[in-house]
Structures are given as C-alpha cells and as structure tokens.
Chain A
Amino acid sequence: VIYRPDLSVGITESFFQHMEKLAPRNNAAMLIKKRITEISIELFQNIQRHSIDMQSSYLTIEKTEACYSIKAMNRVHAKDIHSLANRLQTINTLNHSDLKRAYKQTLRQAALSEKGGAGLGLYRIALRSANQFVYAFQKIDTYIFSFSLEIKLAHV
C-alpha cells in the first residue's frame, strides 16, 4: 500500500481517510497509525515551509513487508544543508529520554521566544518513530541540493 498526498492542497479529510487505510482496524494498530499520521503531517508541513519549490517535492507513505516507510523529498538551498545535516545527525545520536528532554526544552523556549516549529517537528518525529533518520543530500547545482528523509516505523 502506498499513498502520495497532493502537497499543493494541504492536509484534508482525504488525507486522514488514506491514513486510515494504511493500518488494520484494531486497537494495537491504532497507535502506530496515529504515529504514521503525525509524522506525515510534520513532514508535509516541513516541506510546505522549507521547500524551494513544490513541483520537485513529494511525500510518500508506504506499508512494506518489513515496516512502514515515510519518505519526504524536497529541494533546499545549499547554504542551509550544513545546519540541517548537523541537526539530523545530533538527533540521531539521542536516546529516547534525551529526545524527550530536548523536545520539552525546545517547547518551553519556543513558547517564550515565538521561534518557528521546525526544531520541534524533528524531535517529535524522532520520538514517534523510535528509529534513526535516514537522510541524504544530492547536489543539483552550486546553490541547490535535493534533500531526502526517510522515517521507518515497525509494524505492530
């Protein structure tokens, strides 16, 4: 099962209906389905906020035999990839309790300083997936790179 939402229209009821189809209807799968939905929403909105152009961006949510896989692809400015890679690399080194601590600290500071939500989103994604980020940057030209990020979740 694979679903590729239309990034140009935002989150719609159709999005939630597609997410419903990804996991069986039982209580054990409910939490996984919710986590996939939450992660997808954060990635969806990260793309909408940060992508250079929507035409070359996509998000796919796939149920494979091994796991659920959520892939996001978008183009970013070359000047931004160093800080983004550092952030992803740092989050990948954190265990669950460190992630929770970092999330709460960022939430507290963000509420005070009205900063953007991107930092919170990556922490939330890492907490919900319980797996490391798989990411890559591919050079398009001197100024633009293609950024891909894959999040995996185990089946129930």
Chain B
Amino acid sequence: MKPLIIAGTETLPHVILDSAKGVFEITGRSVADDASGVYGPVLQWLNGYSKNPNSTTLFVFKLEYFNTASSKALLDTLSALSFIKNSKVLWYHHEDDEDIKEAGEEFFELVNIPFEFKTY
C-alpha cells in the first residue's frame, strides 16, 4: 500500500503511515482550526489499510500541542484504528507534561484499543 506522508507545519502534525516499513505515527503540533486537510487523508488511508493490515500495528502519537478541534479528529483516528486487528497505541508525553498524558488517558477511556504510555 502506498505510504501516506504529510510534512508537518507550525500548526499541523507530521504524519507517516507506511505499512511496508511498519511505521505509523502522528507527531508535532496539531492546532490548526481546520485540521481536515491532515486527518481526512489519515482516515482514508486507515480505511484502505484496514482491509489488509500488517500482523501488528503500533501507532505512535507524539504530540506537543493539540487544540480541541484536533481532539475530535484524533478521536476519529483512534476509533478507525480500533477496528484494525492487533493494533496498539503508543502515546508519548513529555515527562513533565501531565496534560498530554491525561488527554491520552481520556482517549483510552473512549475507544476500545490498547494504549501504552511512554515518556520522552
């Protein structure tokens, strides 16, 4: 499947979805008011990937900031991921950033997918 790579900007996250390399990650800032330009293609890619996924999918979220408009898009992404067999979320937060950690815990309560919390 063709990889999806979206270069990050000061307000939009960097996205790499590459099933051949087993790399699935969304990193950086996600604070643009309209994030559909990023999350629309991500959802579309996940929909295609879900038809023939890898044996395991470790999806990295390593976000510095995200606004509430992105929260909804992230929840949609996590929901799509939850339908992919043997998928797992690696949720990164800075060791002093309890807010990002708490946001991950909130998502974990809302979607049916395993989370592993990691610090950097």
Contacts and interface: CB of A to CB of B under 8 A. Distances in A.
A100 B109 CA distance: 12
Contact of B71 (A12, A34, A49, A120): A120
Contact of B97 (A30, A100, A111): A30
Interface in B62-84: 65, 67-69, 71-72, 75-76, 79
Contacts, number: 67
Interface stretch (A40-48, A56-64, A78-86, A87-95): A40-48
Nearest to B64: A34
B65 A38 contact: yes
Contacts of B68: 42, 117, 120-121, 123-124
Interface residues of A, number: 31
B110 A117 contact: no
A107 B75 contact: yes
B115 to A, nearest CB: 15
Given A31-B97, A38-B65, A11 B31 contact: yes
B78 to A, nearest CB: 9
Across the A-B interface, give the 9 residue pairs with the lowest CB-CB distance, nearest first.
A120-B68, A13-B10, A111-B75, A117-B69, A27-B96, A121-B68, A117-B68, A45-B33, A124-B68
19 contacts: A11-B11, A11-B31, A11-B32, A13-B10, A16-B10, A28-B96, A31-B99, A34-B65, A34-B97, A37-B65, A38-B67, A38-B99, A107-B106, A108-B110, A117-B67, A120-B71, A121-B67, A124-B71, A128-B99
Interface of A: 10-13, 16, 27-28, 30-31, 34-35, 37-38, 41-42, 45, 48-49, 100, 103-104, 107-108, 110-111, 117, 120-121, 123-124, 128
